[in-house]
Chains A and B, each alone.
Chain A
Amino acid sequence: MSITTQERSKKKASLQSSNGSGWSRRAVLKAGAAASAVTMLTSRKSLLARSLPPIPTQPSDCTPQPTNSPATTPFVSALPIPPIAIPTILNPIPTLQADTSNGEAARANHQDWFQFFPFVQYNISVQPTMHQFDPAIPPTYCWGYNGIYPGPTFLNVYGVPVVVRFRNNLPVNQIGFGTNTHTTHLHNGHTASESDGFAGDYWSPTFFKDHHYPNVYAGFNEFPPIGDPLEAQHTYWYHDHRHSFTATNNYRGLNGMYLMYDDVDTGFEFPGQGPQALRLPGPYGVYDIPLNFADKLFCADGQMYATTPDTVPGATDKFIVNGVIQPYLNVQTRKYRFRFLNSGPARIWTFNVSDNNGHSVPMTVVTTDGNLLPSPVEVIQTSSDPTLTGLTVHVSQRYDVIIDFTNAAPGTSWYLTNVAAQFVGNAPEPEPAPGVNIGNVVMAFNITGPPPWPDQSQVPAVLTTLPNISTPLANLFGTRVWNFNDFIAGGEGDPANPTAKVFNVNGLTFDPNRADASIQQGSAETWLIRNCFPGTGWTHPIHIHLEEGRVLDRRNITVNPTTGVITINSQRVPPLEQGRRDVYPILPNDEVLIFLQFRDWFGKYMMHCHNLGHEDNLMLTRWDVTTGPSSNVTSPVYSDGTPNTGNGQVNAGAEPNITPALTALAPTFNLNPPGTSKLNRPSLKGSKKGVRA
């Protein structure tokens, strides 16, 4: 106990020295102009980070366990905008090698540390805090980055590398759900393996780890100095990725947003930025609003309720946006950019916007998972395309959406509604609710009046061009098949399926020390990702680390109940999946074919189901980028020597046939038979810098 106290006082001392109000005040003064402009426009508290809140003691968990959260009145709290993370000078200085003598957690050396040397440094404290979700609910014990929920927003620019120090200030004597060991993943940051927040590389209280975020586009070897600008991704988020505790630690509040700008998506809307600038509504916090959606269940004493100390509830009843239950946002009659993020734990949202008459209003989607679409896609309830009648956001997906309030009547309110009937992680069912059902409203937009100056933002008809992938296709290793299974077939006593674990990938569950695939750096692959067949009703939003992929084909497997004949129906790739993605939701009995590249770094990465509960039940797989050659699953046997026959749920009728999709995409492409890695980089030889061959 004495050690505990000592540690706590040490922690406090280190916090005060590195993050005390002294520098914060100076920083605020320095950024005075920006801060006052933002404050003026939003009439909110400063967007810049303040000094850290004090660390509260942990209240006891919920008693009694609730069936419903306390009643709250919607639209009484203004939507908070997470403050901007402010760079600092780190002490001790960040180093190439892990500074273990000063308390850095063990890690491999940073790759390309000097190539992308980070002059910009951030200090983030991962610590408990008390957070007010609603005036009607007593303050809630949460965990937050820098002691706030949601965590501070990073605003960074491509080409400016940064280093972020995550110091674990979680309580040593943790009780109840969540664990005090921690790791942070920048979702889907193009980062080296040791800064990727690998689920098994967590660190304990008082330790810190420096994550090196080079803020480069993918493919910087082929496209020096900072990669291929067509691989730009603009909306990221960062969250706890401690395996087996991701759901509980996220539910405690460990997530935030990380936005990237470049000369195309500048974050500002005024003219004169050059012809390449898109001039989408901005800046951050004024006309560019992050919306971090979460859902929770509260006890009467205001504490968050967890089903068990290991499981977060699926049947939640409070919609939370940026840490407030059903907030309102005062908007002017002009265009706004909203960055939708579903931070989990399991709910699938389907959004619609209704005006004051209950009519659906178009939402213009400009990015999918932070990647610009070739051209904007309109989502409206009356759309003829069934995939565009609502904006379905699976866990960890992001959409940047432009909503135009120009024609809204001042004094009225528009509503963001969730039309998905939720039952744990199942596929959303549309709920026939005419008009606006107040129970489904996630937040309200109160129309205040005209903007102080004319709306100079625009939504260009062409946003970007997608990278041409026919050249990398020549480096294709082959197709890997990944089966995401849950328990349906057999179980104990079923000889056909003797090795079923409840949630598994290809029959195997996560082992941080075992890589299930080895991929040669610089190669490209197509991955066929399947939900188990026959399915249980769970949707698995699959997230693949390192690089964004392209959906080549989406198929549905059906079986004729009388004849038993299995058919694979190729579906149209929906418009919102035609751009670059990093999360691929796979509905029951679906399979999706993805094109991926593995460039720039070596080391361990992951693929997993991003339903946080499934992830914690070890539906993860580790794959390594190596010097090659590429190989298939490296562990065909279990540790006890038993062969892994675990693809019990893989249906024999569903052999991968990817050729039609590939030939449609690249007519000259020749599929190498799996196992013959052909790694050459023709694009490098004889091509001019920065020009695609």
Chain B
Amino acid sequence: MNRRDFLSCHVGDKSRPAASLGPGYYTNGVFRTHENKTVRFYDDLIKGKISIINFMFASCDKYCPRSITCLAKLQDLLGDHLGRDMFMYSFTLKPDQDTPAKLAAYAKGVGARPGWLFLTGSEYDLASIRFKLFRLDDPLMDFSVDIHASMLRIINDNNSQWTSWVLPDPPKLIREVISWVEPTKPFAIRVRENAELQAVIDRESAISAPKWAKFKRAHGWAEIMAKRENPVGIKKLETLLAVRPQGNAGFGLRRIGSVLPRFE
């Protein structure tokens, strides 16, 4: 198989709507939820929703627990969005082990609220969506089962905006990441948020700026400034614009040489 054929093996159907990649891209494989319901990947899980997707398996005791704990905290931050316009999907990496019943017990254990589904399905469907969702154009990575445990894919099907993050990370940060795929907020709200952010920056600056100034004084900065022959600012510019008698008239760059220190 040549490389180009390999990389283009995902060619989708020609009829997808403008904003959404549609079932032709996402595939419409059949999965079973931990509630033992049958769902189709695009129609039931992706279409018209913001989907937060990761991979795990129930017997995983090294990496997944921390990822799942992080997601458990995240679902609280999502508030009433979860189950309404945002959905969390945890797909198994080991469909042969994870039956819906086993996943149901797992979901109960981590306190999954409605809107957070644990899913299993056929090996083929799972591999397909892993490739579609986390494609890195590197065969080593795209077909490795191992690496997907730390990946979080966030999709808004309405405007076809995707982003990704890693697990575990602070849930508050992941909540912010999810907001990137949401529609841009009204201008008035963004103005308010900007002012709030500025207030935070100002509070931090109030602490750091005096420290920086003190450091500069302590390290001879004021002393250096006082000794300067060419005070910068307005006078500096005057120096630059001044016509040098021995200069090559009309060529501004030459004059800069006069204010630069030269050494051997």
Contact = CB atoms under 8 A, between A and B. Distances in A.
A307 B183 contact: no
A276 B10 contact: no
Contacts of A499: 63
B217 to A, nearest CB: 11
Given A308-B135, A315-B7, A684-B224, A273 B180 contact: no
A384 interface: no
B146 A627 contact: no
A594 B69 CA distance: 39
A159 B236 contact: yes
B140 to A, nearest CB: 6
A329 to B, nearest CB: 26
Interface in A50-107: 60-61, 63-68, 98, 100, 103, 105-107
Contact of B198 (A100, A119, A160, A500): A100
Nearest to A487: B147
Contacts of A616: 164
B137 A314 contact: yes
Interface stretch (A141-149, A250-258, A260-268, A358-366): A260-268
19 contacts: A100-B198, A117-B232, A117-B234, A175-B18, A176-B161, A179-B161, A221-B216, A224-B225, A276-B257, A307-B135, A314-B138, A425-B138, A495-B62, A500-B147, A500-B150, A502-B166, A509-B169, A640-B66, A689-B228
B12 A492 contact: no
Given A116-B232, A244-B180, A492 B3 contact: no
- Sort A-B residue pairs by CB-CB distance and give the 6 closest, nearest first: A690-B261, A491-B146, A60-B18, A263-B257, A106-B198, A314-B137
Interface string B170-207: 10010001001001111100110011011011001100
A529 to B, nearest CB: 21
A489 B112 CA distance: 31
Given A424-B138, A502-B150, A639 B169 contact: yes
A106 B257 CA distance: 37
A266 to B, nearest CB: 5
Interface in A643-686: 679, 681, 684-685
Interface in B82-140: 93, 132-133, 135-138, 140
A602 B204 CA distance: 13
A307 B135 CA distance: 8
Interface in B202-256: 204-205, 208-209, 211-212, 214-216, 219-221, 224-225, 227-234, 236-237, 240, 248, 251-254, 256
A460 B256 CA distance: 21
Given A159-B236, A311-B137, A689-B261, A224 B228 contact: yes
Interface of B: 3-5, 7-8, 10-16, 18-19, 21, 25, 57, 60, 62-64, 66, 69-70, 93, 132-133, 135-138, 140-141, 144-147, 149-151, 159-166, 168-170, 173, 177, 180, 183-187, 190-191, 194-195, 197-198, 200-201, 204-205, 208-209, 211-212, 214-216, 219-221, 224-225, 227-234, 236-237, 240, 248, 251-254, 256-257, 259-263
A492 B13 contact: no
A423 B197 CA distance: 42
Given A207-B190, A492-B57, A602-B215, 7 more contacts: A103-B191, A115-B232, A179-B161, A224-B228, A245-B163, A268-B251, A273-B253
A272 B16 contact: no
A309 interface: yes
A267 B252 CA distance: 12
Contacts of A107: 198, 201
A172 B162 CA distance: 16
Contact of B3 (A179, A204, A315, A617): A315
Nearest to B55: A492
A638 B66 CA distance: 10
A302 to B, nearest CB: 16
Nearest to B252: A157
A64 B12 contact: yes
B256 A640 contact: no
B234 A225 contact: no
Nearest to B60: A492
B110 to A, nearest CB: 14
A498 B163 CA distance: 24
Nearest to B132: A308
Nearest to A679: B219
Contact of A106 (B136, B137, B197, B214): B197
A550 interface: no
A60 B160 CA distance: 11
A181 interface: yes
A273 B224 contact: no
Interface in A131-147: none
A232 to B, nearest CB: 10
Contacts of A509: 166, 169
Contacts of A6: 187
Contact of B183 (A173, A266, A500): A173
B171 to A, nearest CB: 8
B150 A67 contact: no
A511 B64 CA distance: 20
B11 A64 contact: yes
Contacts of B230: 224-225
Contacts of B164: 244, 310, 616-617
Contacts of A244: 163-165, 177, 180
A3 B190 CA distance: 12
B127 to A, nearest CB: 16
Interface in A155-175: 157-160, 172-175
